[in-house]
Amino acid sequence: MQRWQMTERLIPRDLSAHPRAYAPDYKTSVSRSPNQPLLSFPTTQTEITGPTFGHDMIGQHDNNLILNFTGQPAIGERIIVHGRLMDEYARPLPGCLIEVWQANAGGRYRHKKDGYLAPLDPNFGGCGRTITDADGRYEFLTVRPGAYPWPNRANDWRPMHIHFSVFGHSFGQRLITQMYFEGDPLIARCPIVKTIEDQTQIDRLVAPLDMTMAQPLDCLAYKFDIVLRGRTQTRFENRPEGM
């Protein structure tokens, strides 16, 4: 008889790795943050499973934000953003969907709610997607987004950033985050960045310049690795009936 039964579970989420829900310097969080404690419970099939996406759903230019809107090149500083998706045990996560969105090079989103002075770029939509390869690697070609002001405190500016929506293999691994750029002085001033209290975790969101991937006479590159929650196993010792 097998001595152990195993079921897969997610490593409990370390909430200190994340922003606080209530962060009054980010004013919108005040009325959108739950007051009551979260209910913790053991992983069920609902959280350990999740949607999976096939490479065949990705079009040729889906990960090329410079060309994917009109086919004509967007204006701005051309950059590669690349990295690895892995779990807390540093295991690569292959076959996972990553979606990105961002402002154009002037700091303007193609969105009816964005009325910033900077003009729209007729050739920039601002969305992209890809699926990680067998080693968990991904890559986008885009333009560096501009910083922009936003209505919060009197003179708040978002640092240059790219939004990432990331799937793992489990619904409980789902994550949305933002990537920042090495050297941007606005990072330290941003109330959204500072919803994260742990500076070492903030640093994890800042992508370094990666000259090994920069293409001579073409584009610079930044590397942004992403870590999702790990999966492990719970062991149950088999016991005879009645014990």
Q: Does 143 bind other proteins (CB under 8 A)?
A: no
Q: Is 109 part of the annotated catalytic residue set?
A: yes
Q: Does 100 bind other proteins (CB under 8 A)?
A: yes
Distance CA 6, CA 25 (A): 45
Contact window for other proteins (CB under 8 A) among 74-82, 108-116, 131-139, 213-221: 108-116
Q: Tokens for 56?
A: 């065949």
List the beta bridge partners of residue 137.
84
* Interface positions, 220-239, toward other proteins (CB under 8 A): 226-230
Identified catalytic residue from 26, 109, 180, 222: 109
Q: Is 148 part of the annotated catalytic residue set?
A: yes
* Interface positions, 53-72, toward other proteins (CB under 8 A): 53-54, 59, 62, 68-69
Q: Which residue has the tokens 């579970």?
A: 9
Closest contact distance (angstroms) between CB of 156 and other proteins is: 13
Distance CA 173, CA 167 (A): 7
The contact mask relative to other proteins for 165-184 (x = CB under 8 A, - = no) is: x-----xx-xxxxx------
Amino acid at 141: L
Residue 199 burial by Cβ neighbours in a 10 Å radius (0-12, 13-18, 19+): exposed
Closest contact distance (angstroms) between CB of 203 and other proteins is: 10
Q: Is 161 part of the annotated catalytic residue set?
A: yes
Q: Does 135 bind other proteins (CB under 8 A)?
A: no
Identified catalytic residue from 163, 174, 189, 204: 163
Angle, CA of 28, 162 and 34, to the nearest 5°? 25
Q: Tokens for 237?
A: 């010792």
Closest CA to 197 of 64, 54, 45, 18: 18
Residues designated as active site: 109, 148, 158, 161, 163
